[in-house]
Amino acid sequence: MQKITTFLWFDGQAEEAAEFYTSIFPDSRIAHVQRYGEAGPGPEGSVMTVNFELAGQEFIALNGGPRFRFTEAISLFVDCESQKEVDELWAKLTDGGEESRCGWLNDRYGLSWQIVPTVLMDMLKDPDPARSARVMKAMLGMGKLDIQRLVDAYEQ
C-alpha cells in the first residue's frame, strides 16, 4: 500500500463510483470490497469501503452517508498527453456531471476533476511572462481545455 491514499466519502454510491472510475482509466481495478458486518453502522452486508486503483494510484471509497459532500476545494488532477485524451476523459467524466471552467468539472458523484494537457503546464512555466500570460488568459476563457487554442495563444 502506498504511504498516502486518497479517501473519498460517498453517500451509498462508493462501489458504483469505483466501477465507473475504473472503467475510464487504463491500469485500473477494484482491489477489495469491504462490507458492513453485524455491528454496523451501515446495514449488514452493504458496502462499507471499496479499495480501487486508477492508473496505478490507490484510492479508498467509503459509504459514509449524507453528512459530507465533495467540494471544489479538493480535485483530482489528470495529466493528459493529447487532445484526444482530454476530449475522451471530459466526455466520460461530465456524463451526468457538470462542466466548469479552466479544465475543471464535477462528475456525476460531485467529485471535482481537472483534465489538463501536459503542454499547458509547460507553457505556463515559460520564463517569458508575456507568453505565459497569454496562455493563462486563453485558459481562463475555456471550459474544456483546447490544446490548439492554448498553443496559438502561446505562439502569438
- Do 156 and 102 fall into the same domain? yes
The answer to whether the beta carbons of residues 15 and 50 sit under 8 Å apart is yes
- Do 8 and 77 fall into the same domain? no
CATH code at position 21: 3.10.180.10
Residue 43 grid cell: 446495514
- Give the tens place of pLDDT for each residue, 4-29: 999 999 999 999 999 999 999 999 99
- Reported confidence tier of residue 40, pLDDT bands at 50, 70, 90: confident
Provide the domain limits for residue 7.
Answer: 1-68
- Do 51 and 87 fall into the same domain? no
The vertex-102 CA angle with 99 and 104, nearest 5°, equals 45
- Give the tens place of pLDDT for each residue, 71-130: 999 999 999 999 999 999 999 999 999 999 999 999 999 999 999 999 999 999 999 999
- Do 151 and 85 fall into the same domain? yes
Rounded average pLDDT over 67-73: 95
- Do 64 and 74 fall into the same domain? no
The amino acid at 99: E
pTM comes to 0.94
What mean pLDDT, rounded, does the chain reach? Answer: 97
- Residue 68's SS3 state is coil
- Do 104 and 131 fall into the same domain? yes
Query: Of 76, 98, 70, which Cα lies nearest the Cα of 9?
Result: 70
Map 116-133 to HEC letters.
Answer: EEHHHHHHHCCCCHHHHH
Domain count, the chain: 2
The amino acid at 39: A
Does position 131 have pLDDT exceeding 90, yes or no? yes
